[in-house]
Structure 1
Amino acid sequence: MLKRLLGSAAAIAMLSTVSFAQSTDTNQMTPQAQPEPPAQTSTVFQYPPEVAPKVPADQNFSAVEGKVLASGVIGQPVYDGSGNEANRIGDINDIVIGQNGVAQAAVIGVGGFLGIGEKDVAVGFDRLQLATQADGDRWFVASGVSKEELNRAPAFERSEMYTGGIADPDKANRNKQDETMPGNTTDGTKQGNPATPAPNTTPAQ
């Protein structure tokens, strides 16, 4: 009985030694995980002195006439006038903000029906006015531009100029080069081969 106990103890000790050695070898072979480098940062908005915020960042801005939230602009309709006979031009789908932190343009979806066939057009905020009725109802008016002019205006192609909502000059330059390559049309599609003339089937005289 004693011999069996001693033999079992020796076997357990041997297995423990082998297991520890394998664990040590595995730890030595596993490379240390390298910490990922921090993300690169760059300045997006650079306020010029005349538009820099005049209150500390930890204080709320007061409600002053003319200030709006982006959520109060995006999705709002735009009309071609302030009267009851005004025609709806489209809806504001996005806002372009410049490097100085100032909203430069409203991206308006025009044309199409129920979003089908619609295209985006950038309109400067200086062309938009806010119409307010006596009952408090409000809408935006495109001043000095008609619905037909916006339908003829070039499309604002977000996917070709922006990545994740941030301007991507490299992507824009690549797309511009692709459009100007031989065999490409101005809208980026490939040109087909010239059509082969139909054979002359006129009977010989």
Structure 2
Amino acid sequence: MKNTPIYAAIATILLSTTALAQTATTPASPTPPAATTPMAPGATMGQSGQAFIQQQRADQHLASSLIGMSVHGAADETLGEINDLLLDRNGMVSAAVIGVGGFLGVGEKDVAVPFQAVEVTRNADGKNRLVLRKTKDELKAAPEFAKYESAPATTGSVAKPATTPPATAR
């Protein structure tokens, strides 16, 4: 749980990226390019040509506000809380990791569900509400989500040496 602020910051940065493209024109060209990619609403262009987002839109949610939130079932029962968000290599949230069962974190297990299955709505008072159309029993029966302790290798594989570490002197 001590790494939660770090993960929340990373998720927030990755969730707020916007892909922009520019079409270069030459001075000799009398007409503008036929297709240009519009900037996202609320974005401005910096000196380096990169966009900066100035304000969160109504349909966007900060990862830091989702992590730790209670997830409710269709019958309004509390199913668990968001412990983490799983991001893919493109920066998209692919799953919500929900802590289910247990009491005060003891006996709790993490279950990952596709993020698209979690309905994220914003109440009139501006607070987010999370609904998952599953039951407590379905989540308790779901397989536990296994985390990598370190990032898996992305380019090739490196075999570990077959030697054992030397014994320490006592």
TM-score by length of 1: 0.48
CA distance in 2, matches of 1:102, 1:57: 20
1:97 aligns with 2:87: yes
Whether contact under 8 Å (2:123, 2:129) holds in the other structure is no
What count of residue pairs does the alignment treat as equivalent?
112
Once the two structures are TM-superposed, the CA of residue 132 in structure 1 deviates from its matched residue by: 4.3
Letter in 2 for 1:112: G
1:162 aligns with 2:144: no
Instruction: Classify 1:61/1:97 alpha carbon distance in 2 versus 1 (closer, same or farther; 3 Å).
Output: farther
SS at match of 1:148: helix
Letter in 1 for 2:19: P
Once the two structures are TM-superposed, the CA of residue 122 in structure 1 deviates from its matched residue by: 0.4
Task: Trace 1:46-61 onto structure 2 (pairs within 5 A).
Answer: 53-54=19-20, 57=50, 59-61=52-54
1:120 aligns with 2:106: no
Letter in 2 for 1:121: V
- Bigger CA radius of gyration: 1
CA distance in 2, matches of 1:57, 1:71: 24
Indicate the residue corresponding to 2:73 in structure 1: 80
Instruction: Classify 1:75/1:57 alpha carbon distance in 2 versus 1 (closer, same or farther; 3 Å).
Output: farther
Counterpart of 2:61 (choices 59, 64, 68) is: 68
Instruction: Classify 1:134/1:58 alpha carbon distance in 2 versus 1 (closer, same or farther; 3 Å).
Output: closer
Counterpart of 2:141 (choices 130, 149, 152) is: 152
> Which structure's relative contact order is higher, taking Cα pairs within 8 Å and 6+ residues apart?
2
CA distance in 2, matches of 1:66, 1:93: 22
CA distance in 1, matches of 2:141, 2:153: 25
Q: Percent of aligned pairs with the same residue?
A: 38
SS at match of 2:116: helix
Indicate the residue corresponding to 1:203 in structure 2: none
CA distance in 1, matches of 2:82, 2:112: 9
CA distance in 2, matches of 1:60, 1:79: 31
Instruction: Classify 1:168/1:87 alpha carbon distance in 2 versus 1 (closer, same or farther; 3 Å).
Output: same
CA distance in 1, matches of 2:144, 2:153: 18
Deviations 1:12-44 (A, max 9, x none): xxxxxxxxxxxxxxxxxxxxxxxxxxxxxxxxx
CA distance in 2, matches of 1:61, 1:134: 23
Letter in 2 for 1:74: I
CA distance in 1, matches of 2:135, 2:54: 35
User: Which structure shows the higher strand fraction?
Assistant: 2
Whether contact under 8 Å (2:66, 2:82) holds in the other structure is yes
User: Which structure shows the higher helix fraction?
Assistant: 1
Q: Which runs of 5+ in 2 are unaligned?
A: 1-13, 21-38, 40-48, 155-170
Let me know the Cα RMSD of the aligned residues.
2.6
Instruction: Classify 1:169/1:110 alpha carbon distance in 2 versus 1 (closer, same or farther; 3 Å).
Output: farther
Instruction: Classify 1:73/1:152 alpha carbon distance in 2 versus 1 (closer, same or farther; 3 Å).
Output: same
Letter in 2 for 1:162: E
